[in-house]
Amino acid sequence: MSLVYPAHFETVIKMRDGREAFVRPLKPDVDREKLFEMYSTLSKETNYYRFLNYQPVTRWIVEHWCDVNYDDKMALVAIVNENGRERIVADSRYYLDKKTGEAEIAIVVHDDYQEKGLGTKLLSYTIEVAKKSGVKKLYAYLSPTNRRIIHVVKKLGFTVKWVYEVGEYGAELPLQ
Ligand SMILES: CC(C)(COP(=O)(O)OP(=O)(O)OC[C@H]1O[C@@H](n2cnc3c(N)ncnc32)[C@H](O)[C@@H]1OP(=O)(O)O)[C@@H](O)C(=O)NCCC(=O)NCCS
């Protein structure tokens, strides 16, 4: 189980408005408070679409989200500089089942930064990281009313199908 910070996965994403977001693997000790700040200030709709159910955000839950190992529990955060203060504005992550090589992927962009191209670029970069890390397949469950993410994942090559048993759309992307 890897715990060495993978600095080689640091990158910069340029948003549609020309602003830049620094993207790097989550650093639990450094990011805990800023991650809490991001998740606890999401709109109800964004929270609902991220978790497929409204999920009240507590420090205890954020602690759980900080539990990454850069191996089967991987998270990337996007950080912007707002008047000299760093703010986490997006979190993209996957959880890999090492037995199958399949990983569930999820992403959220804070409402203040949606529709700037950040989600598409961050998801695309997360796919690249997963591929380089040996993940065989990515999958996600998506609310049928979440037209934006359905558009984005299709654009990035996922196949999207209705999963009757789950009552949500299932998106899949083979990587190998
Ligand atoms: C979904 C999400 C990650 C997308 O990130 P984003 O930065 O807002 O998205 P982008 O700006 O990169 O791209 C949005 C795309 O959706 C399109 N779009 C927006 N609303 C749409 C709609 N109602 N129907 C179809 N497409 C739509 C935009 O035109 C754009 O596509 P384009 O670049 O081809 O023009 C972000 O909005 C979010 O965090 N939503 C809430 C959480 C969530 O849904 N997570 C996914 C499930 S895990």
Closest ligand 1 atom, residue 46 Cα: 41
In a domain, 169, yes or no: no
* 146 is a domain residue: no
Domain around 36: 7-133
Residue 72 falls inside a structural domain: yes
Q: How far does residue 140's CA lie from ligand 1's centre (Å)?
A: 15
Q: Is position 162 within any domain?
A: no
Domain of 118: which CATH number?
A: 3.40.630.30
139 found inside a domain: no
Phi–psi pair at 98, nearest 5 degrees: -65, -25
Per the domain annotation, does 13 fall within a domain?
A: yes
Residues in CB range of 107: below 8 A, 6 or more apart: 50, 90, 91, 92, 93, 119, 122, 123, 126, 149
Average pLDDT of 9-34?
Answer: 98
CA 148 to ligand 1 center in whole angstroms: 4
* pTM, rounded to two decimals: 0.98
**Arithmetic mean of pLDDT, 37-48:** 98
Question: Domain tally for the chain?
Answer: 1
Domain annotation covers residue 166 = no
Query: What are the pLDDT digits (tens) for 53-71?
Result: 999 999 999 999 999 999 9
Whole-number Å distance, alpha carbon 57 to ligand 1 midpoint, is 22
Q: Is the pLDDT of residue 1 over 70?
A: no
Kind and range of the H or E run holding 94:
strand 85-97
